[in-house]
Amino acid sequence: MKIKDIKDGIKDGLPIALGYFSVSVAFGVSAVGANVPWWGATLISLTNLTSAGQKAGVDVMAVGGSILLIILTTLIINMRYFLMGVSMSQKVEEKMPIWQRLLVAFGITDEIYAVSMGRKNDLTGAYMAGLIIPPIFGWTGGTLLGSVATNFMPEILAEAMGIALYGMFIAVIVPPSKQSKKVFAAVILAICLSVIFTYLPYLNRLETGWAVIIITIVVSSIAATVFPIKEEADNE
Selected range binding another protein among 117-125, 126-134, 137-145, 221-229, rule: CB under 8 A: 221-229
Indicate whether 204 belongs to the interface with another protein (CB under 8 A). Answer: no
Contact of 147 with 33, CB cutoff 8 Å:
no
Closest contact distance (angstroms) between CB of 220 and another protein is 4
Closest contact distance (angstroms) between CB of 161 and another protein is 6
For residues 156-185, which are near another protein according to CB under 8 A?
156-157, 159-178, 183
Give the C-alpha separation, 185 to 181, whole Å: 6
The three-state secondary structure class of 178 is helix
Contact of 207 with 60, CB cutoff 8 Å:
yes
Contact of 153 with 34, CB cutoff 8 Å:
no
For residues 21-60, which are near another protein according to CB under 8 A?
22-23, 26, 35-37, 40, 43-44, 47-50, 52-57, 60
Give the C-alpha separation, 110 to 104, whole Å: 14
Query: Of 5, 6, 8, 78, which lies in the binding site for another protein, with binding defined by CB under 8 A?
Result: 78
- The smaller minimum CB distance to another protein, of residues 133 and 187, is found at 187
What is the total count of residues that contact another protein (CB under 8 A)?
A: 105
Indicate whether 216 belongs to the interface with another protein (CB under 8 A). Answer: yes
For residues 53-72, which are near another protein according to CB under 8 A?
53-57, 60-61, 64, 67, 70-71
Contact of 213 with 73, CB cutoff 8 Å:
yes
Contact of 131 with 151, CB cutoff 8 Å:
no
Determine which helix (DSSP H) or strand (DSSP E) holds 58, and give its type and residue range. Answer: helix 52-62
Closest contact distance (angstroms) between CB of 3 and another protein is 25
Q: How far apart are the first and last CA of the chain?
A: 29
Indicate whether 143 belongs to the interface with another protein (CB under 8 A). Answer: no
Indicate whether 89 belongs to the interface with another protein (CB under 8 A). Answer: yes
